[in-house]
Chains A and B, each alone.
Chain A
Amino acid sequence: MNDRVMKSYRFREEREADWQALDRIVTRAEKRGVKRLSDEDMLALPRLYRQAVSSLSMARSISLDQNLLAYLETLCARAYFFVYGTRASMGARIAQYFRRDWPDAVSRAVLPTLLAALCLFGGGLLAFILTWQDPEWFWTFNSGWDSRNPDAGYDYLRSTLYTEETNIADMLGAFAAQLFSHNSTIAITAFALGFCLGIPTTVLLVYNGLSIGSFMAVFFSKNLGAELTGWLFIHGVTELFAIVLAGTAGFMIGGAVAFPGKRTRMQSLRDTGNQAALVIMGAVIMLFLAALLEGFGRQLINSDMTRYAIAIGTLIFWLAYFYWPRRMDEAE
């Protein structure tokens, strides 16, 4: 018997060069990106890809060479991911995120946003009223380590709101501490736990509201309300908005699990999960900005008026950015 006439061998001999060519193109694209491919490569790619895919189904039925089959399997999979993968460059993707995806995802989720805001500010209001009437409530909502409590005097409380001497090290320290603060943990956890029907998200938001509300009540009862508001909201607008949005993302996912509608729960979770990811990504960016504002802005700016101006300015900016109606491009 002459081995050279074996069908699978001839099959391979005829197509091997094309497979190798496809392999080279895909490898180059994986390493250095689509833009580095030459025009000939781009033209050859669809043909080579289709040929490799049909070679694979052919090889499965005529060849018993394990190595050949494994090679074609992975080559086709890699080529498939490349041919049908996303084309946009990282820069274009980031630009699209800020221009369209983020505000779009937020403005579509008005209901969960209102719900999250209700939880956070409702909790805040409740704690504020309770602590206002009876300062003992403060100890229910906060642990004892903070020196800014009902027992502190006016002068001390006032001194915490303004910074006399500033230096870069302190500002950086405040910025870094803010990144790891309680609030950013709460924001990310509020999203991550959303799929338990949103219940942990509710608890976290209300709890966070409670501690802020009781904290504010302490300052208001010492006639430092206006000063505190400036101190808190210069970055608080951005930060609290970020927490609300994180809660929104959590509620979106919780809602998708609880009320999947006509889709299966998994399908609904998947669709909403992708939208919610856009919102939470934005919330992390906002937390970062809030940390910058807190670390640097608040230390450098000690005038109440400027603090209020920045607070109102950021509020208007975020509202306009998210909810201002805009023309939608149909392009992908």
Chain B
Amino acid sequence: MAKRKGKKVSQAIEARREALRRRDMRVKEQERQARRIRPLVTPEGAALNLRVATASERAGAFLLDFSILVITFIAFSWLVAIVFSEMGFRGWQIAGSIAAVVVFLLRVFYFTFFEVGRKAATPGKRALGLRVAARNGGRLTANAVLARNFMRELEVFLPLTLLVMGSEDAVGAWIRLLALVWAATFVLFPLFNSEKLRVGDLIAGTMVIHAPRVKLKKDITSAEPLATAGNHTFTHEELDAYGIHELHVLEDVLRQSTPEIKAKVADRIRNKISREASPTSDDLAFLEAYYAALRARLEQRMLFGDRKADKFDTR
């Protein structure tokens, strides 16, 4: 009997350890995310939290833009080829020349054109919710956009040329290798600074931020079944079982998960606060009522300067 109890205790200790380990990981992740934030104080004195785009987001945006460039180019040359191919060899020559001019124009002006525009982002950046901003929080000038995009020549097109270029002999191969190392320094440059700046960003004084459009959804506490949830009341002890982190998780669950997950979460909460599932009420109503009560409680505590970060935060 005693032995079995001991086993149960050790299991509980194990579970607690696991939970604390997970919490540590979560806190570390939060710190990592917080390092991406660059506060910008507006002239009104309010602080905006701008989020620096990650290297992978920027690489994704660039690949999108690059694909758009290539597709545009192919479509255009195809069109020109059709128009001029009537003229035989001469026509092909003209088509080739026009295509070359188009490559030049696209390469020089595509990025600049879109980034000077109102959204300060190329289509690829827009798709990933990125935009270019001045690093000092001021205006993003056309000069800055020009500067950052001319450096792209060095960071992207030069390495590309080097890759395509053939080498005749051993010396040529060595020179090519050195050149590739040199070019790689620029390509990988964003990975080695906290603001993920390209060399072009460095010179232009810009940075790329992640500012996707967010839709304002309905406040959960105003949802319809609340009328039937009126019969759910919770004591302070029951509400103090969780903290802000759990509240946010619950918000996510309510906003976007399936009924099965909602049922599971409802069970866990009932378990935690030792309540029996009443046969008359459904899980959704219970969760919404608990969410509303928990938020009210936590917001009230927050107003008194007491942020309960998560369920481990007992004071």
Q: Is the interface of B mostly helix, strand, loop or mixed?
A: helix
Interface segment, one of B71-79, B116-124, B259-267, B276-284: B116-124
Distance to closest chain B CB from A133 (angstroms): 29
- B100 interfacial by beta-carbon distance below 8 Å: yes
B199 on the A face (CB < 8 A): yes
- Contact of A7 with B by CB under 8 A: yes
Of residues 13 to 68 in A, which have CB atoms within 8 Å of B's CB atoms?
A: 16, 19-20, 23, 29-30, 33, 50, 53-54, 56-57, 61-68
**Which of B91, B142, B219, B300 sits near A65, CB closer than 8 Å?**
B219
Helix, strand, loop or mixed for chain A's interface?
helix
Residue in A97, A177, A274, A281 whose beta carbon sits within 8 Å of that of B144 in the complex: A274
- Chain B residues whose C-beta falls within 8 Å of the C-beta of A179 in the assembled complex: 100-101, 104
Shortest distance from the beta carbon of B150 to any chain A beta carbon, whole Å: 5
B216 nearest in chain A by CB position: A71
Our pick among B42, B141, B143, B299 for the contact of A6 (Cβ within 8 Å) is B299
- Contact A77/B50 with A30-B118, A64-B247 known, Cβ cut-off 8 Å: yes
Whose C-beta in chain A lies nearest to the C-beta of B307? A64
Which residues of chain B from 187 to 232 have any CB-CB distance to chain A below 8 Å in the complex? 199, 202-205, 209, 211-217, 219-222, 226
B143 touches A278 (CB 8 A): yes
B255 contacts which chain A residues (CB < 8 A)?
67
* Smallest beta-carbon distance B254→chain A, Å: 11
- Collect the chain B residues with CB atoms within 8 Å of residue A270's CB: 135, 202-205
A contacts, CB < 8 Å to B: 1, 3, 6-9, 12, 16, 19-20, 23, 29-30, 33, 50, 53-54, 56-57, 61-68, 70-71, 73-78, 80-81, 84-86, 90, 93, 97, 101, 167-170, 172-173, 175-177, 179-180, 188-189, 191-193, 195, 253, 266, 269-271, 273-278, 280-281, 284
* CB <8 Å contact, B90 and A169: yes
CB-based contact A63/B42 at 8 Å: no
Docked complex Cα distance between A53 and B212 (Å): 18
Which one of A23, A65, A176, A189 lies within 8 Å of B295 (CB-CB)? A65
Sample of 6 further A-B pairs with CB below 8 A, known A170-B93, A274-B144: A6-B221, A67-B216, A176-B101, A270-B135, A273-B203, A284-B108
Complex CA distance for A61 and B300, rounded to whole angstroms: 11
B97 within 8 Å of A (CB atoms) = yes
> How far apart are the CA atoms of A170 and B93 in the complex, in Å?
8
Which segment, of B16-24, B52-60, B151-159, faces chain A? B151-159
Tell me, rounded to whole Å, the shortest Cβ–Cβ distance linking A134 to chain B. Answer: 26
Q: From the candidates B49, B97, B146, B212, name the one contacting A281 in the complex (CB within 8 A).
A: B146
Contact of B69 with A by CB under 8 A: no
Q: Is A74's CB under 8 angstroms from B203's CB?
A: no
Complex partner residue of B153 from A50, A167, A188, A274, CB under 8 angstroms: A188
Interface of B toward A, CB cutoff 8 Å:
40, 42-44, 46-50, 90-91, 93-94, 96-98, 100-101, 104, 108, 116-120, 131, 133, 135, 138-144, 146-147, 150-151, 153-154, 158, 199, 202-205, 209, 211-217, 219-222, 226, 233-234, 244, 247-248, 251-252, 255, 292-293, 295-296, 298-300, 302-303
How far is B47's CA from A73's CA once the two chains are assembled, in angstroms?
10
Contact yes or no, A274 B216, CB < 8 A: no
Closest B residue to A188 by beta carbon equals B153
Among residues of A, the one whose C-beta sits closest to the C-beta of B303 is: A62
Residues from chain A with Cβ under 8 Å of B94 in the complex? 168-169, 172-173
Q: Which chain B positions have C-beta within 8 A of A20?
A: 216
Across the interface, which residues of B come within 8 angstroms of A74, CB to CB?
211-214
B248 touches A66 (CB 8 A): yes
Give chain A residues whose Cβ lies under 8 Å from the Cβ of B199: 195
Closest A residue by C-beta to B131: A81
Residue from A65, A97, A180, A253 having most chain B Cβ neighbours under 10 A = A65
A75 to B46, CA, bound (A): 14
Report the bound CA distance from A191 to B147 in whole Å: 10
* B101, closest chain A residue (CB): A176
Which residues of A are found within 8 Å of B226, using beta-carbon distances?
3
A-B contacts, 29 listed (Cβ < 8 Å): A6-B221, A7-B300, A7-B303, A56-B48, A64-B248, A64-B298, A65-B219, A67-B251, A68-B216, A68-B219, A73-B214, A74-B211, A74-B212, A77-B209, A77-B211, A78-B211, A80-B42, A84-B43, A84-B138, A85-B118, A169-B91, A169-B97, A172-B94, A173-B97, A175-B101, A192-B153, A193-B154, A273-B203, A274-B204
Complex-state Cα separation, A59 to B293, whole angstroms: 18
B229 to chain A, nearest CB (A): 8
Give complex CA distance A23, B135 in Å.
Answer: 25
Contact B154 A273, beta carbon cutoff 8 Å: no
Nearest chain A CB to B88 CB, angstrom units = 10
Q: How far is the CA of A29 from the CA of B119 in the complex (A)?
A: 10
The reply to whether B221 and A275 form a contact with Cβ atoms under 8 Å apart is no
List of A residues within 8 angstroms of B299 by Cβ: 6-8, 62-64
Q: Which residue on chain A has the smallest CB distance to residue B157?
A: A188
Minimal beta-carbon separation of B284 from chain A (angstroms): 15
Given A67-B216, A93-B116: A1 touches B296 (CB 8 Å cut-off): yes
Report the nearest B residue to A295, measured CB to CB.
B97
- What CA separation (Å) do A179 and B96 show in the bound complex? 13
Which of chain A's residues have a CB closer than 8 A to the CB of B90?
167, 169
Asked if B147 and A276 make an inter-chain contact with CB atoms under 8 angstroms apart, the answer reads yes
Interface centre among A77, A101, A188, A277 (most CB of B within 10 A): A277
Say which residue of B43, B97, B244 sits within 8 Å of A64 (CB atoms): B244
The reply to whether A269 and B133 contact each other, CB–CB distance below 8 Å, is no
Complexed CA–CA distance, A50 and B214 (Å)? 19
B268 CB to nearest A CB, Å: 20
